[in-house]
Amino acid sequence: MGSDMIYEMVTEDIISTITEDLNIGSLAVERLCKILSDNEIAGEVLTRVLTREKFHGLNVMEVINNEFKELNSIFQDSYDGISIVNKHGTVTRLNKAFERLTGLKIKHVLGVNLYKIKKEGRYFDPTVALKVLETGKPVTILQKYSTGKEIMAIGNPVFDETGKVIWVVVNLRDVTELKQLEEKLRKTQELNAQYLFEMENLRKKYTSEHCLVFKSKEMENIIELATRVSIVESPVLIHGESGVGKEIIANLLHHLNTKRKKAPLIKVNCGAIPKELMESEFFGYEAGAFTGASRSGKPGLFELANKGTIFLDEIGELPLGLQVKLLRVLQEQEVTRLGGVKTIKLDVRVVAATNRDLEPMIKENSFREDLFYRINVIPIRIPSLRERKDDIAPLLFHFLDIYNKKYDLKKSLSDEVVECLIKYEWPGNVRELINLIERLVVTTDDQQIYLENLPHRYRTQTNSNFYRVGQMNLSAAIEDLERYLVNQALKSNKSTYKAAKVLGVSQSTVVRLAKKYNVVH
């Protein structure tokens, strides 16, 4: 369409508009802007119309020019990206923010037809504007551009006097930062919830599930010693293999101390804290102590344990640098936060535990001798479960009762199972026993748990007395015996050829049986 034809189309409307309001008020300017919205020859037409003789002396040109500059400035400086699309689907106006948000050059998009873009799949997704043109209703969708930004596109229709859509105004809003902030807020809320949950657990009462169950003389002596030293403030070092129940003794020491039992018992696994975070976790930090530090600072675990007890599990895992600072805290009963200068007085009872032999570590210079003597004032060694066989049966029935109640079941252990488990070595100690009982309770179908329900490693030490009629059929007994003999032969000989010679079978038979029973060799 030529400029002369456009001129003829708009001139009459312009003259009519200005004639109706010679004062050129805001309404007239608004109507003029609608008529001339981003037409390439708008300036030319407007100049030709307003310089007609009938408008001389009204200074209309200056008024309209100022109004137009102001509106255009607002349009261009908007933080949101804005695009204007006419009723034919052609992009007629874009602001600078559009280019910043989408990464698309204005010169490549201005004047293009969205229907054509959709058909060819070029530049960007024109769905918003086209849907508004089709439905006549506002449309909002999320779009991703090559800039990596996630953009909320909001399309709104502009109607003429007859109710037909003549323009679509599309606002583009960057929601990437909002999404990131939302994710950070979610993670912060999760951390807060976890922190509160852990703090609540640290302060919970001594429940029946944590009660000591024992029959052996060895454990009786340990409980008697722990009861005596619970009323004093001397540091205690608990020795024992992983899973023997060192934490249970720490609980006992805390809850039998009338002075401290109502205060926090803070449990710290020294092997689970990253080395670079240990100092700030143990002793806290002041605001701005390091990048990422909380603006309000944070109290350390020793401060949280004030008036109560701190249980330092796996203390042998502490790096030497932190051992020096820990020694000072234990000697002075005061702490200085990371990045701070003020000392904070403490009243904390220290109970440490380890499954490592610390004395050889002292000779290797991986554990400080002075710290060892500081925490080893009262040593308590908890024997492994294989050293106190009398405790196995009581523990089996205690945890069987706990998990029966937890899952509302009535499972029982056969005599053969109890006898078999008493003979088992329990390398994982009480923790392994608890794990096995829960597994048997929830996975077995029958009310009674039989030998055949046990994982094969728990049956490798059984003898022929366990294979009783009614408890295990012949095929299962043969398989169990085969598994045991192949396992033992491979353990002793480390070679399938030697194991085959010991068993009196071919090497291929040993390989087949090892594969069948998942025996590692």
Report, as an integer, the average pLDDT of 250-277: 91
Report whether pLDDT(267) > 50.
yes
Q: What is the DSSP letter of 383?
A: P
Q: Residue 473 above 50 pLDDT?
A: yes
Burial 501-514 (b: 16+ CB within 10 A, else e): eebebeeeebbebb
- How many Å apart are CA 423 and CA 425, to the nearest integer? 7
For residue 402, is pLDDT > 90? yes
* Distance in angstroms (rounded) separating the CA atoms of residues 326 and 337: 13
User: In what helix (H) or strand (E) does residue 268 lie, and over which residues does it extend?
Assistant: strand 265-269
Q: Identify the pLDDT of residue 7.
A: 46
| Among candidate residues 43, 50, 24, 37, the one with its CA nearest the CA of residue 94 | 37
Q: Report d(CA 202, CA 45) in Å as an integer.
A: 80
| pLDDT class of 50 with cuts at 50, 70, 90 | low
In the predicted structure, residue 463 carries a pLDDT above the cut 50: no
> Which is nearest to 315 in space by CA: 243, 232, 201, 238?
238
Query: Is the separation of the CB atoms in 220 and 214 below 8 Å?
Result: yes
Strand, helix or coil at 90? strand
Query: In the prediction, which pLDDT does 329 show?
Result: 92
521 class by beta-carbon count within 10 Å (0-12 exposed, 13-18 middle, 19+ buried): middle
Mean pLDDT of all residues in 407-435: 92
**Which of 21-30, 164-173, 324-333, 350-359 is least confident?**
21-30
What one-character-per-residue DSSP string does 344-360 give?
Answer: EE---EEEEEESS-HHH
pLDDT tens for 151-199 read 888 999 999 888 889 999 998 888 877 777 777 887 777 676 665 555 4
Are 375 and 350 spatial neighbours (Cβ–Cβ below 8 Å)? Answer: yes
Q: Are 473 and 434 in contact (CB under 8 A)?
A: no
Domains in the chain, start-ordered, CATH in brackets?
A: 3-76 (no CATH), 81-174 (3.30.450.20), 205-383 (3.40.50.300), 389-516 (1.10.8.60)
pTM of the shown model: 0.51
Give 237 or 24, the one with higher predicted confidence. Answer: 237
- The region of weakest confidence among 66-75, 119-128, 421-430 is 119-128
- Residue 152: which region, alpha, beta or left (left: phi > 0; alpha: psi -120 to 50)? beta
For 134-192, the DSSP string reads: HHSS-EEEEEE-TTS-EEEEEEEEEE-TTS-EEEEEEEEEE-HHHHHHHHHHHHHHHHH
For the chain, helix (H) and strand (E) counts, in that order, are 22, 14
